[in-house]
Structures are given as C-alpha cells and as structure tokens.
Amino acid sequence: MRALLVIDIQNDFCPGGALAVAGGDEIVTRVSALMTEFEAVVLTQDWHPSDHSSFASSHPGKGPFESVEMPYGEQTLWPDHCVQGSEGANFHPALNTDRADLIVRKGFRAAIDSYSAFFENDRTTPTGIDGYLRTRGITDLVLVGLATDFCVNYSAQDAAKLGYTVTVREDLCRAIDLGGSLNAARADMAARGVIIQS
C-alpha cells in the first residue's frame, strides 16, 4: 500500500510568506492532482508557538539563518514562521486538504524543532505518524512538498530508516538551499536508499 506524504505546503513557505521557498507555489496544483493516485494521503503542517526556539527572535543577538547549539545538537535559526493559528501556518489555498486522511502537526513544543514528519530534531521523540502508517498497511511512501533540503529530507531519511520504500519526487519539491544544503540532502537521502525522482 502506497501513501502520498505532503510536507508543509503552507503559506509561509510560499512566495510572500515569512520563510518563502523560491517556487514553492509552483508545485501545489500538481500535488493536489497527484492525490487521486494514492490509497492514503497524509499532510504535515509546521506548527510553532510564537516563542519557538527555532526562531532567531528567541535568541538575542542572533539572526535568521545563523545557528545555535541546542541540547539536542545544532539548530538553524529561522525567521518567525508557521505560528499556530496564523495565516502563514495555513495550507496554501490550492492544496486539496479535503483529500487528506490525516494531518500531522509538528514543531509544536517550544524547546525543540521538528523537521521530520516522524521524529523531532532530537531524532528520538516520535510524532506518531509511523504507527498510523504501519497500522494502515502502508509500505511505500512518495514524498512531495517544502522544503526539499529540510523537512522533506529529514522525513525521507527517517522513513527509509524505519523500513519504508521511499521516493522523493524532486519535481514536486522546492528547496531553501542554505550553504549547499540541497546537494548535501540529495547525497544523504541517496545513502539511505531513498529513490530521488526528478
């Protein structure tokens, strides 16, 4: 059984948003159209409290795209984005949310970020999605969404580690590409056995 996992197609990651990914809006109509081909469709939604520790604004003297050392390791700092209940946290209006079987919110604890749909950034705290997919008999995942080199990348690697057959549709993803992060993500995903389809 095959599921489409749609990562963070939210207003803040699209042009005009707080953490805009170039071309983020270009993929949305095609992602919505692709949903009909899958037994299951799961959406993720980046969902931060306004004082989230991944926001540069929570670290005096630090700016967006710098990094800090957190108890769980290095954390890149971002502009405030996807604040719970805000317009920026809403899904892009062209995303067919009606077709979603499940919506997984992540990054809702102030002290820890969660790029991956499966585990928070300590790489051990589960979001619960693995239980849902497994108990529904899902074995194969196709990932699309934003951003290729962060949340798609982390989700794809975790899914492969958990034993799913994972394909990333790069044509239906867009990247932030911070300091070579896109090429690093491609190499790391490939090393985990993720199929990258352009």
Footprint of ligand VGL (CB under 6 A): 8, 13, 46, 78, 115, 146-147, 150-151
Interface with Zn ion, residue 149, by CB under 5 A: no
For ligand VGL, the closer CB: 8 or 25: 8
For ligand VGL, the closer CB: 27 or 146: 146
For ligand VGL, the closer CB: 38 or 115: 115
Sign of the CA dihedral running 190, 143, 24, 123 = negative
Binding to Zn ion (CB under 5 A): which residues in 46-105?
46
Binding to Zn ion (CB under 5 A): which residues in 35-54?
46
For ligand VGL, the closer CB: 154 or 164: 154
Shortest CA distance to 198 belongs to which of 169, 176, 174, 155?
169
- In the complex, what is the shortest distance from the CB of residue 46 to Zn ion, in angstroms, rounded to a whole number? 4
- In the complex, what is the shortest distance from the CB of residue 46 to ligand VGL, in angstroms, rounded to a whole number? 5
The torsion region of residue 177 among left (phi > 0), alpha (psi -120 to 50) and beta comes to: left
- In the complex, what is the shortest distance from the CB of residue 7 to ligand VGL, in angstroms, rounded to a whole number? 6
Q: Which residues belong to the active site?
A: 8, 106, 151
- Out of Zn ion, ligand VGL, none, what residue 150 binds, judged by CB under 5 to 8 A for its kind, is ligand VGL
- Provide the binding-site residues for Zn ion, judged by CB under 5 A: 46
